[in-house]
Chains A and B, each alone.
Chain A
Amino acid sequence: MLLKWRMQRIFHQFRHALIEPSRNPRTAVVLGRLLALVFLVCFGTGLYSHFLQDPLAWMVFPVRPLWLYQVTQGIHITAGIACFPLIVAKLYAVFPELFQTPAVRSFTHLLERASIALFVAASLVQLSIGLLNTYQFYSLFPFSFRSTHYVLSFVVVGSLAIHIGVKLTTIAQYWRKSNSLDESGALIVLKPEDDADFDIPDDLRRLTGRPQSTGITGRVFEWIDREPAPPEPDRRISTSRRGFFAAVGVAVTAVVGLTAGQSFRVLDATNIFAPRKNGIGSQGLPVNRTARAAEVIDLASAPDWMLRVTNGTTAQQFSYDQLRALPQCEAVLPIACVEGWSQYAHWRGVRLRDLMDIVGAPDSADVLIQSLQTNSRYGTTSMQSEFVRDELTLVALELDGDTLDLDHGYPARIIAPARPGVLQTKWLSSIEVIA
């Protein structure tokens, strides 16, 4: 029994020592709503990217603006990076809650704490694996990134909804500044803080007579308490709160400003930490998967390479020279990777819809696109009719005025507007009408 009261005392001492002006419900609500907004943005943009890659049968996707996917995925990754300082700040603000006593008061309280633990753990893992994926640091994952990231997105948003539901009374109270602070700027406290005083007479003292300052931990916490957090009203409190929010603002600005240039050209000059940099890669364009990694160098370089286009029993094969002899079209389109980086390039090649017309495919036809690479799940991709029939969807043969580099998909690759880079199939082998 004494152990229980000792734990109660240590938890009280922790909560007392953790009192800071910036740790209060108003701070938690301000940060919480920002974080919730950013999480929802990540969730929405993430689902968009997911369903572009794995569409349900009834789904139709917009093909304009050209930069649509570049922006949605750029926001997805940039917002995810911005979440790091926000979640650290939020956890800092609510850290004393970890030492609640009693640890579990009821079954409902147990569920509440379990949902928060799930939310915190899932959020931290979700953000961490998202970041590590942009570094392609896959050796750290004992699981598939793609499916785990997808599943955890529902866990994060689900446990977030439960958390908001549980805390809604507090959130409503501290949502507006006018309800949170009085005229002197002091926080309006609905319930007096049990842990505000260090030397409260607790159960251990009632049972044993020992004051708070006894034992090793008691002496340590008493030493800490010799310089307690400033009580209200005190000018230092507003300094502390402003400093806290300034730190959060600077941290978000730093992590976004120093990485977002990989997605948004306007910030390219300050891109010093992103995993990709505009202009670096074969033909001045970043590469995700090289011809060597895809094991297609021999097949793609073979002089007898042919592109096979089929519609049922109608089939046509095109050599590289035959493709070049067809009417060529030019398009300035971004390569926009699921990892968040993107870069515009000048593409030249044959319109996919012209090839479809040659084999008599209907306007509503979806196609299955086969790459020469067989060691990737993206070796075969499907393309919906809205992309197939778009005037800017090309079987590209040239990039920025030169023949495609092997790493960019020589002899021919797909480039289409508003699609993820992984679906811009390289090293084309065949295109087949499927519906």
Chain B
Amino acid sequence: MTAIRRWQIALITLGLGLLIVATVTALQEVPPDRWIGIAGWLIGALIIHDGIAAMAMFGVSVALRRSPIPFAVVVIIQAALAVGTIVTVLVLPAIIKQAIGTANPSILPLDYLANLGLFWLVLLAITGGSIGAMLLVSRRRVVRAAVEQKQ
């Protein structure tokens, strides 16, 4: 038996052991009438990720790939969109909960909507700056190559 095979057996055994701990703990600590709610969340997470979020990301990357934008610019735009989307997804529930109301004023005390707008402005500025710098470097590289070719 190889070392990898031994590690595989150990890891899978450990994993199964922890799943048994999870099952026993669930039976002890989670009332049966809550299981459906938890299962709904687990299935919902898969649907939202695999069926919606990943497909949307696929659509955006295909659209950008088929656009006439230079490859490196597409990479920068994709990166900026990913960063902006992740931050937005994290902050959006805070904005909604704040609008619904919190138990006391020290919970969610900031202006999250304004802060998110500020974040997107900074992100847009950095993205624009990065694209500008990248295009400038590319142009200089092309010019230098042309000069060297003439010489």
Contact = CB atoms under 8 A, between A and B. Distances in A.
Identify whether the interface residues of B are mostly helix, strand, loop, or mixed: helix
Given A255-B90, A272-B119, A155 B19 contact: yes
Interface in A259-313: 272-277, 280-282, 286-290, 293
Contact of A125 (B4, B45, B82, B116): B45
Give chain A's interface secondary structure class.
helix
Contact of A161 (B12, B97, B105): B12
A157 B43 CA distance: 19
Interface string B110-147: 10100110110000000000000000000000000000
Interface stretch (A58-66, A146-154, A190-198, A208-216): A146-154
Contacts of B18: 154-155, 157-158, 161
A135 B65 CA distance: 38
Interface string A79-123: 001001100100110010010000000000000000101101110
A151 B58 contact: no
Interface in A160-176: 160-166, 168-169, 172
A368 interface: no
B52 interface: no
A286 B106 contact: yes
Nearest to A224: B62
A240 interface: yes
Given A91-B54, A224-B66, A125 B11 contact: no
Nearest to A223: B66
A128 B45 contact: yes
Contacts of B90: 81, 84, 131, 255, 273
B25 A227 contact: no
A307 to B, nearest CB: 25
A147 B108 contact: no
Nearest to A220: B62
A251 B97 contact: no
Given A91-B54, A276-B106, A124 B62 contact: no
Contacts of B78: 243, 247
A329 interface: no
Interface of A: 17-18, 20, 81, 84-85, 88, 91-92, 95, 98, 115, 117-118, 120-122, 124-125, 128-129, 131-132, 135-137, 139, 141-144, 147-148, 150-152, 154-155, 157-166, 168-169, 172, 223-224, 226-227, 229-230, 236, 239-240, 243-244, 246-247, 250-251, 254-255, 258, 272-277, 280-282, 286-290, 293, 407
Interface of B: 4, 7-12, 14-19, 21-22, 25-26, 29-30, 34, 36-38, 40-43, 45-46, 48-50, 54, 57-58, 61-62, 65-66, 71-72, 75-76, 78-80, 82-83, 86-87, 89-91, 93-94, 96-97, 100, 102-110, 112, 115-116, 118-119
Given A124-B46, A280-B105, 6 more contacts: A165-B15, A236-B72, A244-B75, A246-B79, A247-B80, A272-B115
30 contacts: A91-B54, A120-B45, A121-B43, A129-B41, A132-B93, A142-B36, A143-B41, A148-B38, A151-B22, A152-B22, A154-B19, A154-B22, A158-B16, A159-B15, A159-B19, A162-B19, A163-B15, A165-B9, A165-B10, A236-B72, A239-B75, A247-B82, A247-B83, A254-B83, A255-B90, A258-B87, A273-B119, A280-B105, A281-B106, A287-B104
